[in-house]
Amino acid sequence: MPTLTIKGVPPELHEKLKERAERHRRSMNSELLTILERTLTPSRKSAEEAIAEAEALNDRIGKTFPDIVNEAKRKGRA
């Protein structure tokens, strides 16, 4: 398996990766591989899958996208 060395990582980015890895209970290497896989591996979802995910999110937060937009308009943010 190939090895990749990353040089010149800014301390702030290193710390963010470390915190994220801890949050997900992974090593920094595993976390970075997960990020790279999710970013570089295309995932094609069907329309039905995308709609189901959006509906699940709506259920979790108790609002739909139009609800959020209308609420922001009422508050004068749009």
Q: In this structure, is residue 53 part of a structural domain?
A: yes
pLDDT at residue 76 in the model: 83
Residues 51 and 71 in one domain: yes
- pLDDT, average across residues 47-62: 91
Which residue range forms the structural domain that includes residue 70?
Answer: 45-78
Q: In this structure, is residue 18 part of a structural domain?
A: yes
- Alpha-helical (H) ranges within the chain are 11-23, 28-40, 47-61, 65-74
| 65 or 11, higher pLDDT | 11
- pLDDT, average across residues 14-27: 96
Q: What number of residues does the chain have?
A: 78
Q: In this structure, is residue 61 part of a structural domain?
A: yes
Q: What is the pTM of this model?
A: 0.54
Q: In this structure, is residue 60 part of a structural domain?
A: yes
Q: In this structure, is residue 3 part of a structural domain?
A: no
Residues 34 and 17 in one domain: yes
d(CA 58, CA 65): 8
pLDDT tier at 5 (50, 70, 90 boundaries)?
A: very high
pLDDT at residue 11 in the model: 96
pLDDT at residue 77 in the model: 63
Contact, 30 vs 37, CB < 8 A? no
